[in-house]
Structure 1
């Protein structure tokens, strides 16, 4: 019977005699961070317009007040393409990918469930209901606010339902989340069936499948602030997440207020996920697969896993979104299709490795 990553964390305490070699955390972060910076610079150049990496660097430098660096200024048209169109989209993809990967790793630890993802508590369905409601009435400018509000309302409904008739446990929260998710999905389908007409179907479908096509600097601000603010707290909680691997009793013996810690962190994950869904829609498999894939290199300890998973999630989603907007140019796919096409085979490989390190 396959065990969760939390169980592997417990195994890590048995001693280092037979433990595999792991690269130092500083080296991992430095390497993946350098890959992320290179990814941002390179993917901004990809598209119909012929833009060089040096043009991207000069455009960014000029807007950051470093105009004297890099020689001649970039032509105005290329500068607008870089700064107003492509860079906000790439940075939004980076923030969303990092946020979802980080949220998935935390949820898998808190629920001690290897199949947990950031949307486990009905967040994506609640956000979808809120987003579809404003798209139907033609006030798309309120979409991020409505999606975020929908995610929080879904979380409140999930926790309220889970508390009904008994103590709030991770298992009850998961079941309540599934129920609320189905309820919100039914509400979304009803709204679409009853009111959607014409081109609104395409806009709604694109958002429901996950898309960063409409990203602006406002999207960067929403996702970036949420990632920096909530993400810092989640990273600081890495030690407490490791304690959960030994079970609630052992965590309590280590001086951790189990219930308070679990639901505080779950609420923070919900806030982070809600912010990400608000700017990108529901993008699947990033929060489910990335933590498992990264743990093969980092090991199960959350002090190593969380920062590397966040950086890898950023790199992964940037490239996935770049593929979504270029493979069938001039048509554009929702990025959720690309993440599913990549995520399902990777997940199958991880399941196949269940006899080995990834899921043992």
Structure 2
């Protein structure tokens, strides 16, 4: 085993060569390769503050003391009289709490999936929609809205979930047909081709019911305003599985960043690790898209901020992206529902407003490092 890989597998490499260190997702120097408790506590505190703001702020004007007491009353072995009426309690626990939790869950899944994709492709500009998940979800949701009159209920998120998974599967199958030498570039091109094809299918479906265009575009622009406990329960198991798998592969992504050949000398199958991470990241993306529509830039903005603040090891980037993405989208949702009160901005518009300029900044700073 080479000294470089031995240091990478140990999680500390103060003498990593300059060419490896410049590579996006490369193993960081010593002192940055472990998740520091203070970073985890700060990220968790930011998320907790965002969740609390999400349940306190709203058009109904619930008393802060009553909300805090009502939340405390739901804790085990705690009994507090909140003083809230039945209507106020319904607003709190049937509208605000599920919405805040949904924004956090969707943001965490998108950010962690983005970090996983960036580790697989060694590209800081890779995002959760790279392999056709967004286009597939759009086709699934559009098909239900067009073909099912009235309120389709939970058929839209289910169809979006199936469509997202199908889009990624098609891209992977298409990319795999190029053979062993295809690499990440072919897979990305396959994702672009599948996305273009599915976008044309979606446009074709929209022509059947022009009167439903507003509902379709409302879904495509993203939002968590319709979140409820059943939707949370619907995606929670898949979110948990993808989270566990991605967090468990943080060290392996660090090893892969040194190089496939040296990773293979350890008996590590780079192809198997990449496939596992891709599947888990795509599952996380599908869960998020199914209940929120298309919300862009979260998977680029949050992992990049984490790398700048805490280091580039994926043992750091993945868990902090999970917490940071949850907090980021929670804050974006607060902006979306308060900046033009009593109306709401689509959540995807808010994230694009922040993420667009940020994407340009990332592109400029990494233009010499990006390799696909």
TM-score in terms of structure 1 length: 0.89
Residue aligning to 1:343: 355
Deviations 1:215-245 (A, max 9, x none): 1112222343333221011101111010111
The answer as to whether partners of 1:41 and 1:56 remain within 8 angstroms in 2 is no
In structure 2, relative to structure 1, the CA distance for the partners of 1:172 and 1:5 (3 Å cut) is farther
More displaced 10-residue stretch of structure 1: 210-219 or 135-144: 135-144
How many residues end up aligned between the 2 structures?
Answer: 349
Is 2:28 aligned against 1:12? yes
More displaced 10-residue stretch of structure 1: 319-328 or 175-184: 319-328
The answer as to whether partners of 1:293 and 1:350 remain within 8 angstroms in 2 is no
Q: Any stretches of 5+ residues in structure 2 without a counterpart?
A: 1-18
Residue aligning to 1:117: 127
Is 2:73 aligned against 1:57? no
Is 2:45 aligned against 1:34? yes
Residue aligning to 1:189: 203
Where 1:12 maps in the other structure, the secondary structure is coil
In structure 2, relative to structure 1, the CA distance for the partners of 1:169 and 1:101 (3 Å cut) is same
The answer as to whether partners of 1:22 and 1:299 remain within 8 angstroms in 2 is yes
Find the partner of 1:104 among 89, 114, 133: 114
Residue aligning to 2:10: none
Residue aligning to 2:192: 178
Find the partner of 1:219 among 231, 251, 265: 231
Aligned partners of 1:182 and 1:356: how far apart in 2? 28
Is 2:262 aligned against 1:250? yes
Task: Report the alpha carbon displacement of residue 53 of structure 1 after superposing the two structures with TM.
Answer: 3.7
Deviations 1:292-338 (A, max 9, x none): 11100111001111111111100110111111112112221110000
The answer as to whether partners of 1:292 and 1:358 remain within 8 angstroms in 2 is no
Tell me the C-alpha RMSD between the 2 structures. 2.6
The answer as to whether partners of 1:134 and 1:143 remain within 8 angstroms in 2 is yes
Deviations 1:87-136 (A, max 9, x none): 10110000000000000001001011221101111011001100111111
Q: Any stretches of 5+ residues in structure 1 without a counterpart?
A: none
Task: Report the alpha carbon displacement of residue 355 of structure 1 after superposing the two structures with TM.
Answer: 9.0
Where 1:214 maps in the other structure, the secondary structure is coil
TM-score in terms of structure 2 length: 0.87
Aligned partners of 1:5 and 1:226: how far apart in 2? 34
Residue aligning to 1:231: 243
Task: Report the alpha carbon displacement of residue 354 of structure 1 after superposing the two structures with TM.
Answer: 4.4
In structure 2, relative to structure 1, the CA distance for the partners of 1:152 and 1:72 (3 Å cut) is closer
Deviations 1:230-275 (A, max 9, x none): 1011101111010111121122122211111111211111111111
